[in-house]
Chains A and B, each alone.
Chain A
Amino acid sequence: MIPVQRGRGGWVSSRSTLAKAMAIVSVGLMLALAGCSSKKPAPVGDTNPNANQLNENTSGGTNSSTLEDWKKGLIPGQGPLSDIHFGYNDYTIQDQDGSVLKSNASWLQKYPQTKVQVEGHCDERGSEEYNMALGAKRAQAAKDYLVTLGVSGSRISTISYGKELPLCTEHDESCWQQNRRDHFAVSDNKD
């Protein structure tokens, strides 16, 4: 008989050993991420290693993408620009977020040597792939708004993380509304 295909690394033969190793890793990561399961909004600034640099350089500050922070086990820092939030399964800019986007646009115009990646995020309800597309709509809605306010579209990129990088992991509306967000990651424009 033809053996089962064996991929890179071969089959993991000992489930119990693997499970133990993973459990140890997972405990460490849970400790590192303990703040993420809080119902409170993620603390801003003081947990961000970049926070102290803000307003000190000519660009007015930068911050990593949520995926980069998350890879390092860090709670995403807010950076110089503020998040905006959305209704369930919706991607229209809410009235109260117009002033946030105006403030974000002013900052971007004050520091023209920066560029921004708008990240669209969703809450945990709904399929992974549909939320990936919904997050893209949310990111695009903020980009369009910033362009309308006079920020050059060439400085703004978008990405969706769907429901994959929640700020808050409880299963209730107070948590979901924090997760339905656009986050703005700022970096130096070195072009």
Chain B
Amino acid sequence: MGQAAAQGAGAGPITITIAGPGGQLSPIAVSGLKNLGDDDDHRIGSAFVGTLRRDLELSGYFRLIDPHAYIEDPQTSGFELGQFNFADWRSINADFVVKGSVGAGGPGVKLTAYLYDVAQQRRMMGKNYSGDAGDVPRMARRFADAILEAATGQKGPFDSRLAFVSTRGGRFKEIYTQSIDGQDLFKLTDNPTINLFPGFDRSTRYVLYLSFKSMAPALYLADLQQRREAKIDSPHGRVIGGTLSPDGEQIVASIERDGITNLYLLTRDGAEIRQLTDTSGINVSPAISPDGATMAFTSDRSGTPQIYVMSLAGGSPRRVTYSGDYNTTPAFSPKGDKLAYQSRNNGRFDIWTIPVGGGDPVQVTDGNGSNEYPSWSPDGRYLAFSSTRGHNSRIYIMMVSNRKIISALTEGNGNDSCPAWSGWLGE
């Protein structure tokens, strides 16, 4: 059990106790929203509550109390402090309850939500949101992130997107994005070939990916804001992979010529800044640190695929991994202090983490299926990765600190791979 301080809305600081990673889950009730006039069919309330419950479940901190157990009727009781009876929530063993309203008047949706501490009968946090009806799931994600901040001291990661590769549309590998809770599926590519390695910049304006849509591989930079796309290729050879810097200004590309693959630093437009590696073997899977100064990558220069880091200004790479004979797909944690990567064991892979500065690697997946391609959540508490633990390959979310598999994030036909968790979408 961990202690976390939370600021009571309009009151002095109070201390609450929440189940930490590995501890008991905190029971939470998410009540329906009181309709103040514009939600007679409860569609807005249902969209908010459904999304919020899903995100709180995915967080790994809470156990959702079955709504059938709720005693009070949200339409007849109040949602402000003093307008409802905490005993109705204490008697069903809720540590926390979320209550709120859908407002009336004017165009658009006006929504208010509060988080209450049942034991202390205190309001811990409250938010007002306004927007279109289509924005309501996002309001719920932002409220879930705020609940995690109030309960754990650290903002949650749910107001973000997941990009991934999927064969759900047939045998072709296309790139999709969706919310972390599985809504708003968007098909980014629609070419019947092979599309791989999607990655966002921090602002989520751009997605960089590799495609065979022109039959030969090249990187493509999709600008989601301008709805246009640029092809990135190289006079040095074939581009077979790459990554976008967090600020969206630079690309590190894996470029193959005569069977030799090296890494090059390019501008976002594809102009070469410098060659970064120069061996006669394989240098692939670049990842750029959050401060944009360092890259991690995979090289076979030692005889087996191992992970190295080096400055994007140039210089000598430093080897990071020494255990295992096949380590690849490094990803920097948001603080820049750790790498997650995949390491082979008995013909399949598990996800491990290791300090960027070197040190002892920590296995974080459990050997169930092949676990590959880790990507950190923006708050650094979770990893998304692909796993074959089920029948098909799916994208899963895991809490890093307790190594517990929380849930599959994708569903449907086909195989899902190459997850990329975006940064927060912003205000």
Contact = CB atoms under 8 A, between A and B. Distances in A.
B198 to A, nearest CB: 12
Interface string B63-104: 000000000000000000000000000000000000000000
The residue among B196, B342, B427 with the most chain A CB atoms within 10 A of its own CB is B196
Interface string A15-41: 100110011011011000100000000
Interface residues on B, range: 35 or more
B413 A19 contact: yes
A10 B184 CA distance: 10
B328 A127 contact: yes
Contacts of B268: none
Contacts, number: 154
Contact of A12 (B135, B187, B261, B328): B187
A129 B284 contact: yes
B41 interface: no
Interface residues of A, number: 50
Interface stretch (A67-75, A76-84, A103-111): A67-75
Interface string B320-362: 0000001011000000000000101001100000000000000
Given A129-B254, A136-B240, A3 B134 contact: yes
A15 B184 CA distance: 8
B130 interface: yes
Contacts of A15: 182-183, 185
Contacts of A164: 173, 194, 196, 212
A179 B236 CA distance: 28
A51 interface: no
Nearest to B347: A125
Interface stretch (A53-61, A93-101, A154-162): A154-162
Nearest to A7: B224
B425 A130 contact: no
Given A7-B224, A9-B187, A164-B173, A132 B132 contact: no
B170 A25 contact: yes
A11 B285 contact: no
8 contacts: A7-B227, A11-B184, A22-B414, A28-B170, A127-B372, A132-B241, A136-B261, A161-B194
Interface of B: 129-132, 134-135, 138-139, 161, 168-171, 173, 182-188, 190, 192-194, 196-197, 204-205, 212, 215-217, 222, 224-225, 227, 238, 240-241, 254, 256, 258-259, 261, 282-285, 298, 305, 326, 328-329, 342, 344, 347-348, 372-373, 412-414, 417-418, 425-427
Interface of A: 1-5, 7-13, 15, 18-19, 22-23, 25-26, 28-29, 33, 65, 67-68, 70-71, 89, 91, 125-130, 132-134, 136-137, 139-141, 158-162, 164-165
Given A4-B135, A68-B215, 20 more contacts: A3-B132, A4-B138, A15-B183, A22-B169, A26-B169, A26-B413, A26-B414, A33-B171, A65-B215, A71-B193, A125-B348, A127-B342, A128-B197, A129-B298, A133-B282, A136-B261, A139-B259, A158-B259, A159-B217, A161-B194
